[in-house]
Amino acid sequence: MLPFTDIDFFIFASLYVALIWLLKFFGLKRHYALLTFVITLAYIIFYFKFTIIVLSYYLMSFIYIRYLSQVVNHKLISAILLALPMVLVKVHVNPSLFYFAGLSFVTFRAIQTCIDYRKEDCLDGIHYFNFLYFIPSLYIGPLDRYKRFTDNCANGFETINETNITHGLQELIKGILYKFVIAEFISRYWLNHEAYNSLTAIQIWNDIYAYPFYLFFDFAGYSSMAIGLAYLVGVNLPFNFNSPFKAVNPPDFWQRWHASLTNWLTDYFFKPFYQWLSQRKKLKKYPLTKQNIAIFFTLFVMGIWNGFEANFIWSGIVYALYSVIHNSYIMESRKRDADIIFGNTNPQIVNYISMFIMFHLACFALYIFSGRGF
């Protein structure tokens, strides 16, 4: 029973919320983390597939982060070790041995915890388990941060109030509407489901515009439901989607589309990688080159973290090229103290033109991501 996929989960979620509210009513404030742990563990044992794999990853990653990471004392090596099961699944090496739904998001949470961990923090097993497998965001995010999440849990019962309950219900209803009504409508009545080689040119162009909207409402629907349920149980998850088709450039698009993953990759891949490049003597005189290399590989990683299939690899390359070209354009404009493309054109007109261009570029990249032409 995956989160937000069938009526059984919504029944479970209702019981989850009711139990949390009941215990708040009885004033058991000190036991919020323990209660969350018990509910999450019960869900994994009784309702979630791959229980042994899930618990094994938790145990091994916890032992590594708390007791071995400081001995290894190398963030890159630690990240590779924690990501190894995910990578083996992506390249189809014994996937049944390592796979469980949500593995990619769980792996990123484990890596973030490890990179930020200090020995004096004394990683708490219950808090780490709750963070790793928090039910609303287990399957498809949003990606939270360990300290932010544990601070939320420390005040979990306090944040269950009328304002947050109202906001949570609004997000939950919006997510249900997005996922089960709009995305379903697009899938049934707009997208073509015939084999790609049987589609006409007009049908392919139709799908280039239909698929991004389907993906947005499906994915944003999941995220809104996760955020809504989290609010109802006292946790404020970061937002993920903010009108991405209104973006005016690639960075703006990624801050509006899956913002939590974009911010995660910025903090835990782009910045360390750029810092490493800055230490290379041959690149010290070439700041634009360093930026573009770091940007390219960050966006490439964003593409292939979904898998090493051709559509993910090529979509990652396309995302990366968009961003590199845009960064070069911005840097050159700053150098000349003038917009090298639009000149003195009215900013509002530039904004509309940029939005139009970015919309079509995003549709093309997301269509490649869909794999419908591969």
Q: For residue 276, how many other CB atoms are within 10 A of its CB?
A: 12
44 shares its domain with 70: yes
Q: Considering its fold, how many domains does the chain have in total?
A: 3
Question: Taking residues 101-129, what's their average pLDDT?
Answer: 92
Q: What is the pLDDT of residue 29?
A: 66
Query: Which single residue is written with the structure tokens 């989607």?
Result: 241
Host domain of residue 217: 162-238
89 and 177 fall within a common domain:
no
Indicate if 181 and 226 belong to the same structural domain: yes
Whether 2 is in a domain gets the answer: no
What is the rounded distance in angstroms from the CA atom of residue 196 to the CA atom of residue 31?
54
The answer to whether residue 373 scores a pLDDT higher than 90 is no
Distance CA 276, CA 257 (A): 27
**Nearest to residue 307, comparing CAs of 104, 140, 80?**
104
Is there a domain that residue 1 lies in?
no
Same domain membership, residue 132 and residue 117:
yes
Pinpoint the alpha helices (H) of the chain. 7-25, 32-46, 51-63, 69-72, 75-90, 95-98, 103-116, 125-132, 146-154, 162-176, 183-189, 201-232, 250-256, 259-265, 271-278, 287-304, 310-336, 347-370
Of 238, 262, 286, at which residue does a domain stop?
Answer: 238
Q: Give 53-105 pLDDT, tens digit per residue.
A: 999 999 999 999 999 998 888 888 999 999 999 999 888 877 778 889 899 99
Whole-model pTM: value is 0.92
> Which residues touch 84 (CB under 8 Å, ≥6 apart)?
none
CB 261 within 8 A of CB 141: yes
Residues 6+ apart with CB under 8 A from 83: 107, 111
